[in-house]
A and B are shown apart, each in its own frame.
Chain A
Amino acid sequence: MRGDVRKPSHDYLVGFLCMLACIVIAPWVLYPLFLMRVLCYAIFVMAFNLLAGYSGLVSFGHAAFFGMGAYAAAWSAKNLGISAEVAVAIGGLAGAALGVVIGWLSIRRTGIYFAMITLALAQLVYFFCVQVPFTHGENGIQQVPRLKLFGAIPLNGSMAMYWFTAGVFILCFLAVHRIIHSPFGKVLQAIRENEPRATSLGHRTKTYKLIAFVLSALFSGVAGGLLALVFGFATLESVRYTTSGEVVLMALVGGFGTVFGPLTGSLVLSAMENYLASFGSWVTVAEGAIFIAAVLAFRRGIIGEVMAKLKVSL
């Protein structure tokens, strides 16, 4: 799970332009709603990847931030009379706020213990969501309006919503990219490689890790909030531990610590879930098989393997 971060290269620019082109062409080829789901999850995986791929902290509780973002955005969209971008921002803030608490508690541990403590805390968040009335339990917050962008442009149509989602995705993509390539990002990678050395160099590693954690939670919340607007509801499914597992799988399939891995992983798994829906439980079997194959055969993920094959940095 290591991502090489050199200077943004020529390869990277080409990759980025290809991605932009795909995003622009895609809605004419594929179903927009499906693409929106892919993009939302891609943001979520990017957020997870920021922590797992670049800071070496693999969380098994990221559904907590994603779900909280979804609930917060859905609730405020329904009750506060705000515009779409504000609702998404509220989702992000809710994720970040929760991230401060959970991050503060969990970054004291590393490796498998970190994974376990995030899982435990996320289960407590799930419990909270089951118990409090504003989430409406198993039924979830339904009929969430898509609102208007900047209070003016209605997002009811598939295409309008798609462009909004794509816009948010690209903003998040650039932001994450900026973070990784900043001095802050370099320190994170130094901590991942060798924490004691980073400490001895005078970096307050705890603070760095906490900031990375909160940023990751922030983007997870944005992803959740956006998804709530796209589908018009927020439900317990988004806080369940299976969602945490799904994001790990997407990151793994796409490639830990790669810039284009999250979108790839999200695309592959969402496509599988949809295309195989009529096969019932064979979806589960296929997902499991992919997990196994990914760990055994292409541990670097799709993008990671491509990078190794082509000797490029993506």
Chain B
Amino acid sequence: MMISRRSLIGSAALAATLPRAAARAAAPGIKLGVLTDMSGTYSAETGKGSLTCTQQAVSEFMAAHPGFAVEVISADHQNKPDVGATLARQWFDRDGVDVIVDVPTSSVALAVNTVVKEKNKVFLVSGAATPDLTGKQCSPNTLHWTYDTYMLGRSTGEAMVKSGGDTWYFITADYVFGHDLQDSTTLFIKQGGGKVLGASAYPFPATTDFSSYLVRAKASGAKVIGLANAGTDTQNCVKQAHEFDIVSGQTRLAALLMVITDVHALTLQASHGLVLTESFYWDLNDRTRAFTKRVLAKMPNGFYPNMIQAGCYSATLHYLKAAAAMGAAAAKASGAAVVERMKKMPVEDDVFGATTIRDDGRHLVPAYLFQVKTPAESKGPWDYYTLVATTSGAEAAPPVASEHCALIKS
């Protein structure tokens, strides 16, 4: 609302100097709002880094299309759905925002999803993981860009079973995201002929000590301990597993949602040998390296971008291409029309390469299975991953849920 006050003053000044119609015609710019966790549990994985990557896409695009006005604003949703929905409504109603980007935390993303659909704007999801965004709650105004729990479960689960990890024990954050992650992974463990021996669902948030769950998991004799959680919880699990000598003999850890920012926080000493899935890694190929080089100097704390942040760049860039092709006025008029256009256009950028978008709004990106390097293997700053396997974009996305999503014509 701070923004709204400023724009109010701005528009009052405009109205004083120009006739109303002229004022409207003079500013057909696109306005993006990065709505993210700036201060909470997920702020390191999203937050200012997501904002920086979004701004990077805008500045690159504006350099190529001078005269096309784009503005970026941001706000902290504090991981509260009511704060997120209020900000979204406010942005649409008063600040002329056309697109909302990122929005980590499933509950907030789902709340924002409803508002975006009602106002016919555009929602580019990079931070949230719930497959409901392209399933039960799919919307003609929403694109799910970077990853979901299905992708994580499939990539990590399948690969672990294939490499002999056929018995599992889960340590699960006791909320929807954790259970989603556990369920989708379980699906692929069973498909691969593996077995789940048990699971401990721990209270979320406010659990800091995981040793009793880890010891329990080890005692179950499972070959793989699956961590169905995120952020600092995952970090603590990994750290404590290291301490309690859990990863020894046959037992391995699988962090089901972990990004490079977490690995950096943990250090290689504590996290080496871990297997995890991301859809982007800065050192994947020449193009990802080129992107990282461009954005790195602007990133907060000099952190390298992870898949969520890089996803914000990719989604924003593609949106701007579609909006420019339609003309800013048409793009502002109907969010659903832009999303429709985005689905038809081939996606092409340095982050994900050439990709496509499915009718239900799922952006099909390949999932990469990485193993975290040992300190000895790491050759330079942020040289953390070895690529183990790749799942194609089509396979990494959940099956089209035509019975749930009305966008799918069966």
Contact = CB atoms under 8 A, between A and B. Distances in A.
Q: Do chains A and B touch in the complex (CB under 8 A)?
A: yes
A140 B39 contact: no
Interface in B206-241: none
Given A31-B94, A139-B176, A235-B82, A277 B75 contact: yes
B244 to A, nearest CB: 27
Given A232-B85, A281-B39, A31 B76 contact: no
Given A31-B4, A231-B82, A284 B176 contact: no
Interface stretch (A10-18, A198-206, A256-264, A268-276): A268-276
B76 A277 contact: yes
B50 to A, nearest CB: 13
Give the size range of B's interface with the partner.
Answer: 35 or more
A130 B175 contact: yes
Interface string A135-163: 01111101100000000000000100000
Interface in A189-246: 227, 231-233, 235-238
Given A33-B90, A231-B82, A273-B83, A142 B110 contact: yes
Given A138-B177, A231-B82, A280-B39, A34 B107 contact: no
Task: Classify the secondary structure of B's interface with A.
Answer: helix
B169 to A, nearest CB: 21
A179 interface: no
A62 interface: no
Contacts of B86: 33-34, 37, 231, 274
A16 to B, nearest CB: 27
Nearest to B80: A237
A48 to B, nearest CB: 18
A279 B4 CA distance: 14
A231 B114 CA distance: 10
Contacts of B89: 33
Contacts of A281: 38-39, 76
Contacts of A237: 80-82
Closest 4 CB pairs of A and B: A280-B38, A281-B39, A138-B175, A274-B1
15 contacts: A31-B90, A31-B94, A138-B204, A227-B82, A231-B82, A237-B80, A237-B82, A238-B82, A278-B2, A278-B74, A279-B2, A281-B76, A283-B39, A283-B76, A283-B78
